[in-house]
């Protein structure tokens, strides 16, 4: 993901927010005293497990009030507890191997996610829809970064140039560049204000200046509304349809999306272009390394689990 803001499909960012199935333990959580498991002496409380199970139940609309629901809850609780145990092990090993991320790294990841939303309120709504607090999201990001850092230390992997070249031959079409447009926008909450700003644009006032003055998109406002180059599939449909129909320097009429009212300007168009090996090399290396590291990491995790002292209790989750 690059550092430029994007008016992206909400579902794509939802997947980013969802991440793994469970979050890290929330600081300050009311833990109670009932214990679900211990991992090398570190406690996982029943209240924590219940919180994770409740979150999943809400996300997937599960009815836990029936006999079937009770059975589902028991199965979900078992899976979530296994994940919490693995998470504790990974975080313990990350601390032991000096792989825990800094707060600056966590904040950087958080800002990267926020840049995908037109406004802070949209980001907060996405969290609410997924029953996530900001603290829980930061805990999740911290865990994900710890896993990434730990992978480099305990599951190193290499990829040869020959392997990259073979992968490119077999997957060449995946790396071809699709049609792109370099686009700016001004996002407004109110249609009447959008009409006012559009009139100013029609009179020849600066798009950049008006974006800085009026736009509600914090990710692009200070850049004069500049979203950079975007491809099809990165934009919500209403925005995409108009953006890819505009010619360079042309300004759209008012475009309504779930985020508000947009005024769009296209600066440049790029036609589709076949990828070269050199253009795709770094991306292919990342794909191959990621797969190998993940496989090695899972083998390492199995070994760590056999060496760990793990105790599960028979405490009911609810």
Q: In this predicted structure, what is the pLDDT of residue 32?
A: 61
Q: In this predicted structure, what is the pLDDT of residue 184?
A: 96
Over its C-alpha atoms, the chain yields an Rg (Å, rounded) of 24
Q: In this predicted structure, what is the pLDDT of residue 54?
A: 83
Cβ count within 10 A of residue 273:
12
User: What's the sign of the alpha-carbon dihedral 129, 140, 310, 33?
Assistant: negative
Nearest to 207, CA basis, from 185, 191, 228: 185
Tokens of 128: 């609410």
Confidence (pTM): 0.58
Give, for all 318 residues of the chain, the pLDDT tens digit: 333 333 322 332 333 334 443 444 333 344 567 999 999 999 999 998 988 888 777 777 777 777 777 888 888 889 999 999 999 999 999 999 999 999 999 999 999 988 877 678 888 888 887 778 899 899 989 989 998 899 989 988 899 999 999 999 999 988 888 899 999 999 999 999 999 999 999 999 999 999 999 999 988 888 999 999 999 888 899 999 999 999 999 999 999 999 999 999 999 999 998 989 999 999 999 999 989 998 999 999 999 999 999 999 865 555
Q: In this predicted structure, what is the pLDDT of residue 213?
A: 95
Q: Which residues contact 314 (CB under 8 A, 6 or more apart)?
A: none
Domains of the chain in start order, with CATH, are 12-158+291-312 (1.10.4030.10), 177-270 (3.10.50.40)
């Amino acid at each position: 993901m690059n550092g430029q803001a994007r008016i992206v499909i909400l579902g794509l960012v939802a997947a980013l927010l969802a991440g793994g199935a469970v979050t890290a333990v929330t600081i300050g959580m009311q833990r109670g005293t009932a214990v679900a498991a211990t991992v090398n002496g570190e406690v996982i409380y029943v209240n924590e497990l219940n919180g994770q199970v409740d979150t999943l139940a809400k996300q997937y609309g599960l009815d836990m009030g029936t006999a079937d629901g009770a059975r589902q809850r028991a199965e979900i609780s078992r899976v979530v507890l296994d994940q919490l145990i693995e998470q504790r092990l990974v975080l313990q090993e990350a601390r032991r191997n000096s792989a825990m991320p800094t707060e600056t790294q966590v904040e950087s990841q958080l800002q990267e996610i926020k840049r995908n939303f037109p406004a802070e309120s949209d980001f907060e709504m996405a969290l609410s829809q997924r029953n996530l607090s900001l603290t829980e999201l930061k805990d999740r990001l911290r865990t994900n970064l710890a896993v990434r850092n730990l992978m480099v230390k305990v599951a190193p992997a290499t990829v040869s140039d020959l392997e990259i070249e073979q992968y490119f031959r077999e997957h060449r079409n995946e790396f071809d560049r699709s049609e792109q447009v370099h686009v700016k926008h001004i996002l407004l909450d109110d249609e009447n204000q959008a009409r006012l700003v559009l009139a100013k644009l029609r009179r020849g006032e600066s798009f950049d200046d008006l974006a800085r003055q009026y736009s509600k998109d914090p990710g692009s406002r200070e850049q004069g509304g500049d979203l950079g180059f975007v491809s099809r599939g990165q934009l919500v449909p209403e925005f995409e349809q108009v953006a890819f129909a505009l010619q360079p320097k042309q300004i759209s009429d008012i475009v309504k999306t779930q985020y508000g009212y947009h005024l769009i300007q296209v600066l440049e168009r790029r036609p589709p272009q076949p990828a070269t090996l050199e253009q795709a090399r770094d991306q292919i290396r990342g794909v191959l390394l990621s797969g190998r590291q993940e496989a090695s990491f899972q083998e390492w995790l199995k070994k760590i689990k056999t060496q760990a002292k793990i105790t599960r209790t028979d405490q009911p989750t609810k």
